[in-house]
Amino acid sequence: MPSSEEIRDGQRAAWARLSAGWEKWDAVIMDQLGPVGTAMIERLDIAADQQHLDIASGTGEPGLSIARLAPRGRVVLTDLSAEMLDVAARRAAAQGIANIETKACSADDLPFADASFDSVSVRFGYMFFPDMGKATAEFARVLKPGGRLAASVWVSPEQNPWTSIAMDAIATETELPAPLPGAPTMFRCAAPGYITALYEQAGLHDIAEWNVPLELVTDSPAQYWSMISEHVSLAVAALQQLDAPAQARIRAHALTNVTPFKKNGQIRVPGLARCIVGTKPS
Ligand SMILES: C[S@@+](CC[C@H](N)C(=O)[O-])C[C@H]1O[C@@H](n2cnc3c(N)ncnc32)[C@H](O)[C@@H]1O
């Protein structure tokens, strides 16, 4: 079993490499994940002077959307990867958002005082944390009494063909390594109630889970494959172990399997996320 330090070091290095792909495909990724951010934000009751903490912000969402809703407030974007936060800062500047700051840190060791935020968000970050219980305890610690935590995770490979098409194609050429116990994987938090149990252990109450559908929309099967193979962590890691002919066969396989998702001239592949909200007792 890898140590927490080994997981963090691996994640930091992986996301430094992935940041260019996330910046390149920013518009497509943000359109795909947008409904999940919107669903999380709706449950956070953002006030104009909200003090908000976004965890595993990556390129900035949902923190930047929250900053727009809190013109007299402040949003702190945090992530393990300084390179991802550099993209977030560039996106904020391009969108004219000034009430944010960035801080590179790990979710399970936050450099913030107790009870310093009105709300905390974690969009698609949980599955990467070495110790999800410790991280949730940190979120509860930095929340003010009555403050809310909203997170999202992926539901299952079957309900997320936008990624399973690519993973199945990769599996035709290479055996994807079985995840080590405790190591990050995309569907690690998929079981219903999994995140609720972490929230309960951290003392949160009024906890609710609900599913949010989304769609990955690209212009063509070829664009689908370029986008996935340049920003999905597992796909990037698996493909770089393979030679060019194997990569070409995988691409052909994925293109064949994604083509049936063509609708009105676009490739529209569905997915399903689960959102979880909870409140720190007053
Ligand atoms: C899938 S991205 C999500 C980015 C963004 N929240 C979004 O939804 O677009 C996951 C992010 O988790 C970050 N991450 C991984 N391990 C982390 C840790 N231990 N603490 C904080 N962030 C971490 C990665 O650097 C990456 O930016």
Tell whether the model's pLDDT for residue 134 goes beyond 80.
Answer: yes
* Pocket flag, ligand 1, residue 33 (CB < 6 Å): yes
Confidence of residue 149 (pLDDT cuts 50, 70, 90): very high
Cα of 57 from ligand 1 centre, angstroms = 6
CA distances from 53 to 50, 176, 180, 225 (A): 10, 35, 30, 33
Amino acid type, 259: T
User: What spacing in Å lies between the alpha carbon of 263 and ligand 1's midpoint?
Assistant: 31
User: Residue 108: what pLDDT?
Assistant: 97
Check pocket membership of 107 for ligand 1, CB cut-off 6 A.
yes
Among 54, 65, 79, say which to mutate for ligand 1: greatest number of ligand atoms within 8 Å of CB: 79
Q: What was the pLDDT predicted at 76?
A: 98
Supply φ then ψ for residue 234, to 5 degrees. -65, -40
Supply 25's token pair: 């495909």
pLDDT of residue 150: 98
**Fold assignment, 4-160+185-217+271-279:** Rossmann fold (3.40.50)
Q: For residue 133, name the pLDDT band (cuts at 50, 70, 90).
A: very high
Q: Ligand 1: which residue has its CA nearest to atom 16?
A: 128
Point out which residues pair with 151 in neighbouring strands.
122, 276
Rounded Cα–Cα distance for residues 69 and 49 (Å) = 9
- Residue 143 CB contacts under 8 Å (≥ 6 apart), including other chains: 115, 117, 118, 119, 120, 149, 280
- Report which ligand 1 atom has the smallest distance to the Cα of 60: 5
Query: Could you tell me if the CB of 125 is within 6 A of ligand 1?
Result: yes
Ordered by start, the domain boundaries in the chain are: 4-160+185-217+271-279
